Amino acid sequence: MKTVDHKCPSCNASIKYNPKDKNWVCEYCGSKFTLDELKENEKNFEQTSISESKELKEKEENKDASEMDQYHCEDCGAEIIADKNTAATFCVYCKNTAILKSRLTDKFSPSKIIPFNKTKEDAIEAFKKVGKGRFLMPKEFSDPKNIQELTGVYIPFWLYSCKMKGFVSGKGTKVMTWSTYDYYYTKTDTYKVERGGVYSFENIPVDGSERFNNAVMNSIEPFNYEELEDFNYSYLSGFLAEKYDVEKNEAKKITIDRAKTSTLNDLESKARTGGYASFVPSQKETDVQEEKIDYVLLPVWMVNIKYNDKMYTFAMNGQTGKMIGDIPYSKWKLVLFVFVLFIVLFGISLLVTYFV
């Protein structure tokens, strides 16, 4: 099976998307192109016969889940091996982007995409600053030479929107105390408290790939969804991409649970703000209305660090630059910190003992 790669309309060399100026740049002749200009040349990119498309689709549907597909690079003809969820990769020989277009068709075709806003250089600079304010981190850990692999990946996400109608009912109490001479009195009034409302939720994200850690993906949020663009294969040039393997219904269940929890928590919070000393809910109801779910690709820089023969993974939001990851600690710094803390506390205890 063949791959797709974007070509420079001027010299036919491969072009890549440049996050800085939002254009596509040819590294050979230096030409720059806008998305509209590329669309004029997209017929060459999009030409796939009906019979070939049908054949690709049948192979996708009938192959075993563990099967690896074999593609051939359009630039050098080398063989490219891709697992079942890879939608865009790189040729290991010529390093050009290989877009596996058949992986992003039909139900796997994203409706929107947020293009990369941060470059590889931005990711390196962000990594160099991960030790800021972290005294216990080894100083040499954030050295860029420890970067084993740095890859820009478009990760599949489901964005769920809905209106959630909620209702909470329960018992609220107000307590008043006073005293006369040697007697203390407590008066407790009990009230039936009800709160209800309709909440709008827009674009609740769920990671659509089992390959990436959900906790990590949640940690680099939020994304600015106002920058969502209509999906176009051109945005994949120069980056990796995945297709989803978390089904829509599974993602929907996760997001509905989030919306329900947020709705009920807010209604219970409002019930407790009526001057009640306590509120015990006895009835909770929710009803989902006006549902919408979109399949989109979101940009993430994945940074693999090798330090002291151990691998550490960092992820950076390719739009906002927010970076997270596990950071090691220096044993000698920890010992020094504990020693200094002991000296300080010991000194304070001596001073207290002396003045007392």
Q: Does a structural domain hold residue 49? A: no
Question: Half-sphere exposure of 236 toward its Cβ, with a 13 Å CA cutoff?
Answer: 32
Residues belonging to the chain = 356
Q: Which of 80-94, 171-185, 252-266, 303-317 has the lowest mean pLDDT?
A: 80-94
Say what the pLDDT of residue 53 is: 44
Backbone φ and ψ of 295, nearest 5°: -105, 120
Q: Does a structural domain hold residue 237? A: yes
Q: Does a structural domain hold residue 186? A: yes
For 56, the token pair is 């690709």
Domain count, the chain: 1
Query: pLDDT tier at 172 (50, 70, 90 boundaries)?
Result: very high
Task: Please state, in angstroms and as integers, the Cα–Cα distance from residue 37 to each residue in 14, 41, 75, 165, 337, following that order.
Answer: 15, 7, 22, 46, 59
More confident call, 44 vs 235:
235
Query: pLDDT tier at 131 (50, 70, 90 boundaries)?
Result: confident
Q: Does a structural domain hold residue 286? A: yes
Task: Please state, in angstroms and as integers, the Cα–Cα distance from residue 130 to each residue in 146, 226, 280, following that order.
Answer: 13, 28, 44
Query: pLDDT tier at 260 (50, 70, 90 boundaries)?
Result: very high
| Cα dihedral 215/217/221/225 (nearest 10) | -140
Q: Does a structural domain hold residue 161? A: yes
Q: Does a structural domain hold residue 124? A: no
237: region left, alpha or beta (phi > 0 left; psi from -120 to 50 alpha): beta
> Which domain covers residue 179, as residue numbers?
152-325
Across 206-218, average pLDDT:
88
pTM of the model: 0.78
Over 50: is that where the pLDDT of 1 sits?
yes
Distance CA 99, CA 92 (A): 14
Among the listed residues 65, 63, 71, the one whose alpha carbon sits nearest the alpha carbon of residue 87: 71
- Tell me: cis bond preceding 110? Omega within 30 of 0 counts: no
Q: Does a structural domain hold residue 80? A: no
Over 90: is that where the pLDDT of 73 sits?
no
Q: Does a structural domain hold residue 296? A: yes
Q: What percent of the chain has pLDDT over 70?
A: 81
Range from 29-43, 98-112, 234-248 that averages highest in pLDDT:
234-248
